[in-house]
């Protein structure tokens, strides 16, 4: 069955999008207003982090449209831009993405000529991923966009608060 979009709108300002997985379970939701939080929920750190992440992703996805990318594609290009050639399976594991979804994501990047699949000389069943020259230049542009979106998201914080949040949030992931 695969992913099924129930609504095709991708901007945060218009509609709610529900994307279901192959078993019909919600895979992701984009909210009508990703920054809206009911006062009763503002006391819950987890909910505020969830809404902040959704707001960031929504803003980034919208801004990356000019590169024909979404934030998930930017993540893949970021890893490949480190100079590593890695397998689709390893990329999926690093990003927490299942194999079927990873194939579709790489298909998109390959159709844009940003990534190429190479056969693994040790195991022909494995596909290795390599960023192309166009992928590298697109990544540079997308990185500037991502930094701009990040600045926009954090604009209501002082410089010190911005530095603190950038240092603290990754530590929560350990």
**Reported pTM:** 0.77
The CATH number of 62-174 is 1.10.10.10
Largest CA distance in the chain: 57
Residue range(s) of every CATH 1.10.10.10 domain in the chain? 62-174
In angstroms, the CA 4 to CA 38 distance is: 29
Q: What is the pLDDT along the chain (174 residues), one digit of tens a residue?
A: 444 444 443 444 444 444 445 555 444 555 566 667 788 888 899 988 998 998 999 999 999 999 999 999 999 999 999 987 899 999 999 999 999 999 999 999 999 999 999 999 999 899 999 999 999 999 999 999 999 999 999 999 999 999 999 999 999 988
Q: What is the CA radius of gyration of the chain?
A: 18
Question: 24: phi > 0 → left, psi -120 to 50 → alpha, else beta; which?
Answer: left
């Amino acid at each position: 069955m695969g992913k099924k979009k129930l609504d095709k709108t991708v901007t945060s300002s218009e509609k709610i999008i529900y994307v279901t997985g192959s078993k019909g379970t919600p895979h992701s939701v984009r909210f009508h207003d990703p920054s809206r939080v009911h006062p009763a929920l503002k006391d819950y750190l987890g909910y505020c982090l969830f809404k902040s992440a959704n707001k960031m992703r929504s803003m980034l996805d919208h801004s990356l449209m000019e590169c024909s990318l979404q934030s998930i594609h930017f993540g893949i290009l970021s890893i490949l831009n480190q100079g590593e050639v890695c397998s689709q399976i390893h990329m999926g594991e690093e990003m927490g993405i299942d194999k079927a979804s990873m194939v579709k994501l790489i298909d998109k990047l390959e159709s844009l000529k940003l990534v190429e699949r190479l056969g693994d000389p040790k195991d022909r069943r494995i596909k290795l991923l390599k960023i192309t020259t166009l992928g590298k230049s697109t990544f540079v542009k997308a990185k500037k966009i991502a930094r701009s979106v990040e600045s926009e998201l954090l604009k209501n914080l002082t410089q010190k608060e911005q530095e603190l949040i950038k240092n603290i949030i990754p530590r929560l992931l350990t």
